[in-house]
Amino acid sequence: MAKTLTVLGLESSCDDTAAAIVRLAPDQSPQILAQVVRGQTQLHADFGGVVPEIAARAHAEKLDICVADVLRSSGLNLGDMDAVAVTAGPGLIGGVISGVMCAKGLSAGAGLPLIGVNHLAGHALTPRLTDQAAYPYLMLLVSGGHCQFLRVDSAQSFTRLGGTIDDAPGEAFDKTARLLGLPQPGGPAVEVEARAGDPTRFAFPRPLLDRPGCDMSFSGLKTALLRTRDAVMAEAGGLTRADRADLCAGFQAAVRDVLAEKTRRALADNPDLQLIAVAGGVAANTAIRDALMQVASAADAQFLAPPLALCTDNAAMIAYAGAELFQLGQRDDLTLTARPRWPLDSTSPAMLGSGRKGAKA
Ligand code: KG4
Ligand code: ZN
């Protein structure tokens, strides 16, 4: 019988510095003993995006503090850990290196096994951390940097069924907000505006629905929004509140329809999958969630959306993935390297679906 595992996890692949301690009981039930996420939004606010050098430096400064925080709040010591798990990619390389170096130091200093975790595997295994989802299941990862369908068969077996061939939906939401003078991050702002809007007033494209498979494209939608906005402004001399709401509603409906239809296909092509789970910031969108729920129910599948704090970047998912990988025998050592690119499914076309922003997973 498996023994209880207690794993310290570190995450620093983009602009959140995070640490967590997760315990996996012999019956495989997981428990988050402590977790902390220190965001860097303020540090990057003046630059309109994440500045890799600033991010890396902040991670290097904050990782130790985060580790001390979770040890203190769990009442445990490093010696109580069975392993240290760390995001070893994909992500902004400076940040990933900060995390890997910190984990190597802890591992060497305390004599703990080191486990390098793919950040995307962390997201993909979250339904097991939150709901003990049974393998296999379908995962839709929709964030500011990623958009892909994964068939998850084990902690080491992922099949990419499709993904965006250009931008991620979160990027498109953020760009839409920028074009309409709404605050960042754009997704929540666009969603609020869309509530008062008419999704049928403007005809936005549903890219790639005419093509088979689960690949998606969102960059044309951004261009369509820009053109439509300019046309309205040219005609009326400006944008009214109602125009803005209608543009948001039309755009959101287009993203929703594409995600829903491609999810329907992913489930139809994989009839043995009885669960679809989502992760990533865009999964917070109620209209998108509702549409996915309907698709799942029509396919007799269960729909699972973990709590938002565990859908976005965090270290509990890294600690949890580390625990499963530990059970499967994975051990890394001081030769573990930080990888800016690291597709989960090595058989799929290289990095399609990463989104142009790429680094943020
Ligand atoms: O997963 P996440 O926090 O960070 C990564 O990209 O890894 O996702 C952030 C993205 C942003 O692009 C944000 O605009 C989008 O998720 N987002 C939303 C909503 N909340 C956050 N998009 C649509 N609707 C929302 N309610
Ligand atoms: Zn992520």
Ligand nearest to the CA of 306: 1
CB of 357 closer than 6 angstroms to any ligand 1 atom: no
Query: What is the tally of structural domains in the chain?
Result: 2
Based on the fold, state whether residues 209 and 260 are members of the same structural domain: yes
Nearest Cα neighbor of 26 from 47, 12, 6 is 6
Q: How far is the CA of 282 from the centre of ligand 1 (A)?
A: 4
Count CB neighbours of 331 within 10 A. 12
Query: In the prediction, which pLDDT does 349 show?
Result: 56
Query: In the prediction, which pLDDT does 352 show?
Result: 42
Based on the fold, state whether residues 58 and 192 are members of the same structural domain: no
Residue 116 sits in a domain whose CATH number is 3.30.420.40
Query: In the prediction, which pLDDT does 360 show?
Result: 46
Residue position matching structure tokens 């940040």: 95
Based on the fold, state whether residues 97 and 172 are members of the same structural domain: no
Based on the fold, state whether residues 287 and 212 are members of the same structural domain: yes
Q: How is residue 320 written in tokens?
A: 């949890």
The answer to whether residue 354 is domain-embedded is no
CB of 218 closer than 6 angstroms to any ligand 1 atom: no
Based on the fold, state whether residues 120 and 231 are members of the same structural domain: no
CB of 256 closer than 6 angstroms to any ligand 1 atom: no
Residue 34 · residue 74 · CB < 8 Å: yes
Query: In the prediction, which pLDDT does 1 show?
Result: 56
Query: In the prediction, which pLDDT does 53 show?
Result: 83
Based on the fold, state whether residues 304 and 315 are members of the same structural domain: no
The torsion angles phi and psi of 137, rounded to 5 degrees, stand at -150, 170
The answer to whether residue 344 is domain-embedded is no
Query: In the prediction, which pLDDT does 48 show?
Result: 67
Beta strands 5-11; 83-89: pairing state: parallel
CB of 165 closer than 6 angstroms to any ligand 1 atom: no
The closest-lying atom of ligand 1 relative to the alpha carbon of residue 174 is 14
Q: Hey, which of 123, 173, 286 would you mutate to test ligand 1's pocket, going by the most ligand atoms within 8 Å of its Cβ?
A: 173
CB of 119 closer than 6 angstroms to any ligand 1 atom: no
pTM of the model: 0.91
Q: How far is the CA of 258 from the centre of ligand 2 (A)?
A: 21
% of the chain beyond a pLDDT of 70: 96
Based on the fold, state whether residues 189 and 264 are members of the same structural domain: yes
The answer to whether residue 342 is domain-embedded is no
Residue type, 272: D
Ligand nearest to the CA of 357: 1
Ion ligand 2, residues whose Cβ is below 5 A away: 313, 361
CB of 167 closer than 6 angstroms to any ligand 1 atom: no
Based on the fold, state whether residues 82 and 118 are members of the same structural domain: yes
Q: Hey, which of 17, 171, 282 would you mutate to test ligand 1's pocket, going by the most ligand atoms within 8 Å of its Cβ?
A: 282
Based on the fold, state whether residues 156 and 297 are members of the same structural domain: yes
The answer to whether residue 361 is domain-embedded is no
Angle of helix 169-179 relative to helix 186-195, nearest 10 degrees? 70
Based on the fold, state whether residues 166 and 99 are members of the same structural domain: no
Query: Which residue has its alpha carbon closest to ligand 1 atom 22?
Result: 187
CB of 90 closer than 6 angstroms to any ligand 1 atom: no
The closest-lying atom of ligand 1 relative to the alpha carbon of residue 168 is 12
Based on the fold, state whether residues 289 and 230 are members of the same structural domain: yes
Domain region containing 122: 5-131+310-327
Ligand nearest to the CA of 313: 2
Based on the fold, state whether residues 269 and 291 are members of the same structural domain: yes
Query: In the prediction, which pLDDT does 356 show?
Result: 40
**Residue pLDDT tens, the chain, 361 long:** 579 999 999 999 988 899 999 999 999 999 999 999 998 777 887 776 778 888 888 888 899 999 999 999 999 999 999 999 999 999 989 999 999 999 999 999 999 999 999 999 999 999 999 999 999 999 999 988 889 999 999 999 999 999 999 999 999 999 999 999 998 889 999 999 999 999 999 999 999 988 899 999 999 999 999 999 999 999 999 999 999 999 999 999 999 999 999 999 999 999 999 999 999 889 999 999 999 999 999 999 999 999 989 988 999 999 999 999 999 999 999 999 999 999 888 776 544 444 444 444 5
The answer to whether residue 356 is domain-embedded is no
Cα maximum dimension of the chain: 71
The answer to whether residue 320 is domain-embedded is yes
Query: Which residue has its alpha carbon closest to ligand 1 atom 8?
Result: 281
